[in-house]
Every structure is written in structure tokens, then in C-alpha cells.
Amino acid sequence: MTNHFDTIADIYNKVWYFSGQYQKSMLENIIELLQLGKDDVLADIGGGTGATTRLLLETSNLRKAYCIEPSRKMFLEAQKIPVIESVCADAGEFMQLEIDFSKVLLKEVVHHIPSRQVLWRYLRHKLPAQGRILIVTRPQAIALPLFEKAKQAFRQKQPKHEVLMQELETSGFATSYRVHPYRFTLDKAVWFDMIRNRFMSDLAGFTNGEIEEGLIEIDAKYPGGTIEIQDNIIYIPASVKGMDRME
């Protein structure tokens, strides 16, 4: 089966770039909630083209950063960034790697991981006492201006943040969460091109005709040449309970 992200690897950074402020705010939240510092080694699971991995490495002056990415084409893009170490692996293969790390980021990828509890138990065993995980995700009722069938597809695949927190706590982590709404304006043509390029994996199952029908629906709901975007991001930081590690 073709990996959806293989088909958009060459344009991924472009289509996901909403605004400089959006990117800056997200980086600040990640750095704060992961408590990233110069002694940390970051494992960015599902790190895509490595763009965020590199920014976190350079901004926080990390000791090392791994970009773990299952899409081969995305991985090849990440390999072009010499300051990070890229590995072509999914979450299951990641658990077989002989690497050490202190912080783990799962940015907008947790819904792609089929056996999450296995991963949480592995991380609880592997992380040091001061280790942390950060999940970056969205609510099931997505606020982005998508057509209704796309919202339904998203809702079906997206786990509730309460479920993720319960899984982590059962595996020995202490959790909390933060909802951060990002609001900005885009040219409608830019937004429509993003949808046509299927910038979210939930759009991959729609035909070109269905996408165009969806754009007509959005256009009727949001008249004019620009479109107001609200993206509600949920941050779930998890820290190791106690000072001992599970054996």
C-alpha cells in the first residue's frame, strides 16, 4: 500500500506552513511542555521531513535529535538536514532501535499508531527519571474549515485526548493537557490548494471529484477571497511517575 505521505513529501513543508506566528507559537509550546534543554536527546516520532526536528534542535541547543519517519520519501527529505539523525521506521520499528533518548515528541501522528499501549509501556521502561513525552493532537470535532465528509473522516480516526491520557496514566505516566487555539487568515486559494494536495492524511481517501465538491461546499459557507482559520491544538505532556523505571 502506498504511504499517503510519500505522495506529498516534496510539498509537505510548503502546504503545512500556515504562518510564521503559527509555527513560532507551536515551537514555544513544545519546548516549554517537553522542558527541552541542552542535555536532552529528542526522539521525534513521525517527524516527517525533519523541519520541526531541526528547529527544536537548534532553538533548544539539544545534544541530539532523531527524526523517526516511516514514509521513505519523507525520510529522504529529512536526510538532507545534516544536523539531525534520520531513521526510516514506524513506531513498532522504533522500539527495536538501539538508541537512547530523554524526550519524545509525537506531533499530529498519534492517530496513526495502532498499538499505542505497547509504545507507552516501552517508553515508560526506556525513558530516564526526568524523561517526558509530548503528544500534539486535535479534538475529534475539528475546527478547521473542511467539508463535512472530511470532518467525519477525521472524527472517526482521531482518539479523544481523555483516552490518550488514560492510556498513558495506566502505563505509569502523570499527564495533563492544554488546548491552544490558533487563529489566522489565509487566502482562500491557498487553503483550497492545501486541500487539493491532501495536506491531511484524512483527505487521502477522497477522489478529485469529491474534493472539488467539498470545496464548493466550503466556498458557499465562507464567501470572499480569504478564509478565517481556527486550529485548536491539544498538547498532552506526560512525565514519568516517581523516580524509578519499570522493569
Domain layout of the chain by residue ranges = 4-183+231-240
- CA pair distance 99, 165, nearest whole angstrom: 26
Threshold 0.85, pTM exceeds? yes
- What does the block give as the cell for 37? 534543554
The pLDDT tens digits for 77-93 are 999 999 999 999 999 99
Q: What is the DSSP string of 143-155?
A: -S---HHHHHHHH
User: Residue range 119-143: average pLDDT?
Assistant: 96
Q: How far is CA 14 from CA 10, 66, 82, 191, in A?
A: 9, 22, 20, 12
- What pLDDT does 175 receive? 97
- What pLDDT does 21 receive? 80
User: Residue range 8-31: average pLDDT?
Assistant: 70
- CA pair distance 160, 140, nearest whole angstrom: 6
State the sign of the Cα–Cα–Cα–Cα dihedral 92, 95, 98, 101: positive
Closest CA to 174 of 127, 114, 140: 127
- CA pair distance 46, 67, nearest whole angstrom: 7
User: Is 3.40.50.150 the CATH classification of the domain at 4-183+231-240?
Assistant: yes
User: Residue range 243-247: average pLDDT?
Assistant: 40
DSSP state of 110: G
